[in-house]
Amino acid sequence: MNLRPKPVRGALLLAAVACLGWGLSLESPASRTAARAWVFTPAWEPGAGLPGEPPAVPRVTPVAPEPLPPCLEPVRTQVIRPRTREWKSIIVHHSAGIRGNAEEIGRLHREERGWDGLGYHFVIGNGNGAPLGGVEVGYRWLDQSHGAHAGTEEHNQFGIGICVVGNYEEAEFPEEAYVSLRELTSWLARRYAISPDRILPHSAVRPDPTACPGRNFPLERLRRDVEEDLRK
């Protein structure tokens, strides 16, 4: 399935502009609950870091703006990604609820966990609260900032967090969500040279036991399919 026509909910909402002396334009922290785009920097310099974050550390490589997966093309023209991280793994989650989207999950993370906002980098909808198979881009991806999803420092710093809405301990994994997950994961794996065996369920990295992303998450199928995609 081609993801291109799917809406990227919220990502096209432009942030309120605040000139912070960095030459960057950012929305206010209060709105950091969801996927969003920001408007740009005429004056950013590699290694300068971002407002609200510590300066870039050596492990974070300053490079030219990052591309987005082709399926997220609508966001491209509105986003500047000033640097990338050395992503090393892809961590798959489920939301464990029956409905949701990046905005709702982000609000929950902010209000109940005290995080800045959405802990994941991407959210894939299950048709209940967001389009089935639709991919939402979180601000952490646009910022190339660490996640708040894994439960370990390493995987929060260098693991890309993808949450599929739904509870896959109970429900079957929707094929439409799988197709989107495969396309996104394959793109990320190719772009960041992440081997398929570094596609991990949350349960494999979190120190405390968790069922996330559920027994019906098709890990081995995803690894095989990504491996196949990488050979193309």
The residues binding Zn ion (CB under 5 A) are 93, 202, 212
Measured from the CB atom, is 25 or 157 closer to Zn ion?
157
Shorter beta-carbon distance to Zn ion: residue 6 or 93: 93
Distance CA 230, CA 31 (A): 37
The encoded tokens of residue 154 equal: 């390493």
Q: How far is the CB of 96 from Zn ion (least distance, A)?
A: 8
Helix (H) or strand (E) holding 227: helix 219-231
Please identify, using beta-carbon distances, which residue of 83 and 110 lies nearer to Zn ion: 110
Tell me which residue of 174, 172, 167 sits closest to 213, measured CA to CA: 167
Q: Could you tell me the smallest distance in angstroms from the CB atom of residue 95 to Zn ion? A: 8
Q: In what order do the strands lie in the sheet containing 89-94? A: 135-137, 122-124, 159-164, 89-94, 199-201
Strand segments (E) across 25-155: 89-94, 122-124, 135-137
Least separation in angstroms between residue 94's CB and Zn ion is: 7
Min separation Cβ 93 and Zn ion, Å? 3
Supply the minimum distance, in Å, between the C-beta of residue 89 and Zn ion: 13
> Quick one: how many helices (H) and strands (E) in the chain?
7, 5
Between 38 and 178, name the residue whose CB sits nearer to Zn ion. 178
Q: Which is nearer to Zn ion, 155 or 202 (CB)?
A: 202
Q: List, in order, residues 6 or more apart from 22 with CB less than 8 Å away.
A: 41, 43, 44, 48, 50, 51
